[in-house]
Amino acid sequence: MTVFAGLAAAAIILLLLMTKGSSSAATAGSSGPQPGDTTSLPVDQIKALLVDAASRYGIDSSLALAVAKQESEFNQQARSSVGAIGVMQLMPATAAGLSIDPYDVYQNIDGGVRYLAQLLGKYGGDSSLALAAYNAGPGNVDKYGGIPPFAETENYVASVLNYQQEFSA
C-alpha cells in the first residue's frame, strides 16, 4: 500500500464520519462515532475502517474485506456459537493476546487485521495458509503442514478467496 492509499482511506473515513447524518449522537454535539462507542456503524464505515487498517498493516485491503464478509457480514454485533465476537469474529483469547476489546468495533477491526497480517508474515505471505490459521488456528496449520483436512476450514479458505476476488474487481 502506498502512502497515498493510506491517506485516501483516512480521508474516506473522515468524510464518512462528517456526513453521518442526524443521529442522536450527532445532534448531541458529537463529531460522530468514536472508539468505545456501542453505536452501530453503517457497513460503509466498517469497510472504510477495514481498508484503513489493511493499509496500516501492509496487507491487501480486499483480503481484509473478504475475511470480514465471511466472518460476520460486516456485523459488529455478530456472535458465534463458539464465542467469537464482532466484525472479524475474534475469540476472547485471541483478543486478549492482541490487547484489544473485541466489543469495540474499532479495536476489533484493528486487532483482526493486525492478527491477519501476523499470520501472513508467519506463513510467508501465503494467503491460503494465513486464512486457514485464522479459521482453525495456527497450531492446526503447523500440525498438518498446510491447510488442515477440516471441511469447514477448506470451505472457509475457498470462500474468502472468492470474496477477495470480488473485492479486487
pLDDT at 8: 44
- CATH number of the domain that 67 lies in? 1.10.530.10
Share of the chain residues as helix, strand and coil, in percent rounded to the nearest 5: 65, 0, 35
The kind and range of the H/E element at 123 are none
Q: What percent of the chain has pLDDT over 70?
A: 77
Residues 6+ apart with CB under 8 A from 117: 57, 58, 59
Cell numbers placing 2? 502506498
Per-residue confidence (pLDDT) for residue 75, from 0 to 100: 96
- CB-based contacts of 15: which residues, under 8 Å, 6+ apart? none
Both ends of the chain: CA-CA distance in Å?
17
φ and ψ of 58, to 5 deg: 70, 35
**Residue range 23-60, pLDDT digits in tens:** 333 323 334 444 555 568 999 999 999 999 999 999 99
- Name the domain count of the chain: 1
pLDDT attached to residue 169: 86
Say what the pLDDT of residue 39 is. 62
Q: What is the pTM of this model?
A: 0.78
Q: Burial, 75: exposed, middle or buried (Cβ in 10 Å; 0-12, 13-18, 19+)?
A: middle
Give the domain extent around 22.
3-168
Q: What averages of pLDDT result for each successive group of 10 residues across the chain (169 residues)? A: 44 40 32 53 97 98 98 95 95 96 97 98 98 98 98 98 96
> Catalytic positions, please?
71
